[in-house]
Structure 1
């Protein structure tokens, strides 16, 4: 799913089970022997494996109907929205912005996107510029609002509704910072299902590397939750956690992946990243090491499910699965939440369920776009 991507190095994280069978060290410290393949060897967690397999099967389903809002206020007229983006190079941020613009066109509003360029100073300047435009509402697109506390306070004082996209940990309204709503899937659900997929795919025998950005509270929390869920299966080994800011993935990921391959070799069977972009940048190093695109390490992105991630999955090129955000749907939801705010209504409270996309169920598409929401929103907007 997020927030400010400035470089920061997280402190060492050590997870240990009582039996001492799982240890994970920040920046890739080895945990010793791990599995040599993801084959169906005997798992050390049969109960967990059975539970996780059922959860993964539910998340992989694509045949369901729209379960979001079907009623709401009629469309307000003449509104102007500013989308302040953490960085438009983040595919999730850009995808949500695209959905906002599409929905704004449908409802008859104007949208302007201001790119924060991925730096604290840039995001603060973009937010200040947004306020100066005196918009009807402002979207906090993928960064921690505490980074822009002065601008948030000013917008609140001027009664400009703020809606976040992956701005804070939890979906829905927020009191501190004051947001009318925050649009995201539940980070707990995304983290859990991505770890469950690894446990299921490896039959409970995986050597895992976690890629995260510790400079983003949302992302850091997600990776901690992933590790916690992986730890429910004692035969899954956390080999390393790599802290690479999203803004630095293109420059740092290839080198880090080469180092991981050298150190862990075939013990590295699976990876999970807080954003799919890590695997775009890992691919050259994996290819250079003569790894096959459809073989280990099997990679799953715990967000955001951008088009390039689907392309890698569908072509079996160094990514096997993703837990995609329904980016277009979330953009439409942002516009609907603003319409509720302008009408004096409460937030809808809708939270999209988690989904796992693989080559087997994506059918060649390049996004997760659940059916039904466009018609539902247009109907009660009167558009």
Structure 2
């Protein structure tokens, strides 16, 4: 199996914020303000801080039930058990938004592992986080004339010309986090999109905060509004937090994913100085926002196992698991089963090559926190490798 990565140097992110999603996000914040502040959220939050109880016991109870189910680690394989036998001699091109994104990189690893099992070749082409780089990587993918192309973590409509070329060449395209919903898509044209349901990820991450804080949290939301999928996820998180009037969203920090490593330290330092002890929880659309949180939070006098409790609403990086296990500035993550999703992508291509329909499978939601992390560094459910190998006759 061959693999490669593009040698391009990382440029700055162009066209960082899409206006429509900015307006949507503003609308979400406005709606949150109405649902919270119109009920006297300032007064109820002050009372909650004093008593340790919020003003939404029914919402807290519902959240606690959902979190209990999502933290289970012994669920049996619930994915496909039938499909197409292995189609031989295929090459897959994986166009990555940026391989610095742990989710994008984790899925690439799963694709490579599954391709080795089924007997295919894989080429990894790194867009390195900016529009020109992604278009260049997609162009390289087309030049390979592969059997299939993966859109890894970016909006296919941003590369519409290349998508049209793939369609004209009868090359099936499969997305990972390419559009907001799992399954086949006609616009953009995707054989299928492999992802958990973003609304489920957003909801459970907010419910975790509501449950753990008993409805008393003061929250900072970290997002990347230049990616519609991420912007929509952040908006849904805020809306779910708003179901409890004593939970307050204190700040929304919009930092492009490729810039997170350089910008988050100053952002954490500034937030700690400005918000003080009112900041008790953070939630980010990707765990990498917490990769550089330790130094500024430690400098601000914050303990690694104390507030603000950082919660990742995807994707479940190795570094995030290590922080959770060691109690160092991350409390939980809602991890994608990244390796499993890589295997699913290979299986979906195999179905496409065999003339079958997409499987329709959607991975289940899971939470990893200090109580169930153990010694693992990824969320890797049991059973999928054996199931797919059996389907392929391997």
* TM-score class, shorter: over 0.9
Does the CA contact (< 8 Å) of 2:63 and 2:208 recur in 1? Answer: yes
- TM, length-normalised to structure 2: 0.91
Aligned to 1:17: 34
Aligned to 1:182: 193
Aligned to 1:27: none
Shift of 1:85: 0.6
Q: How many residues align?
A: 374
SS in 2 for 1:16: helix
Structure 1: distance between partners of 2:40 and 2:70: 28
Aligned to 1:73: 84
| Matching of residue 278 in structure 1 with residue 289 in structure 2 | yes
| Matching of residue 314 in structure 1 with residue 322 in structure 2 | no
Structure 1: distance between partners of 2:320 and 2:140: 32
Aligned to 1:106, which of 92, 117, 140? 117
Shift of 1:40: 6.8
Structure 2: distance between partners of 1:59 and 1:40: 28
Please, which moves more after superposition, 41-50 or 310-319?
Answer: 41-50
Aligned to 1:288: 299
Q: How does 1:1-383 map to 2 (within 5 A)?
A: 6=14, 8-9=16-17, 10=22, 12=26, 13-14=29-30, 15-18=32-35, 20-21=37-38, 41-383=52-394
Shift of 1:331: 0.1
Q: 1:5 to 1:145 in 2, by over 3 A?
A: farther
Structure 2: distance between partners of 1:325 and 1:229: 20
Does the CA contact (< 8 Å) of 2:331 and 2:370 recur in 1? Answer: yes
Instruction: Please tell me the root mean square deviation across aligned C-alpha atoms, in Å.
Output: 2.0
SS in 2 for 1:367: coil
Structure 1: distance between partners of 2:180 and 2:311: 21
Shift of 1:287: 1.6
Structure 1: distance between partners of 2:393 and 2:199: 35
Structure 2: distance between partners of 1:175 and 1:168: 11
Shift of 1:368: 0.1
Please, which moves more after superposition, 114-123 or 6-15?
Answer: 6-15
Higher helix share: 2
Shift of 1:32: 9.8
Per-residue CA shift, 1:122-142, capped at 9, x if unaligned? 000000110011000000011
Does the CA contact (< 8 Å) of 1:36 and 1:266 recur in 2? Answer: no
Shift of 1:18: 4.9
Structure 2: distance between partners of 1:61 and 1:163: 30
Question: Runs of 5+ in structure 2 lacking a partner?
Answer: 1-11
Does the CA contact (< 8 Å) of 1:314 and 1:359 recur in 2? Answer: yes
Q: 1:321 to 1:178 in 2, by over 3 A?
A: same
SS in 2 for 1:78: coil
Does the CA contact (< 8 Å) of 1:35 and 1:269 recur in 2? Answer: no
Structure 2: distance between partners of 1:159 and 1:7: 30
Question: Runs of 5+ in structure 1 lacking a partner?
Answer: 25-30
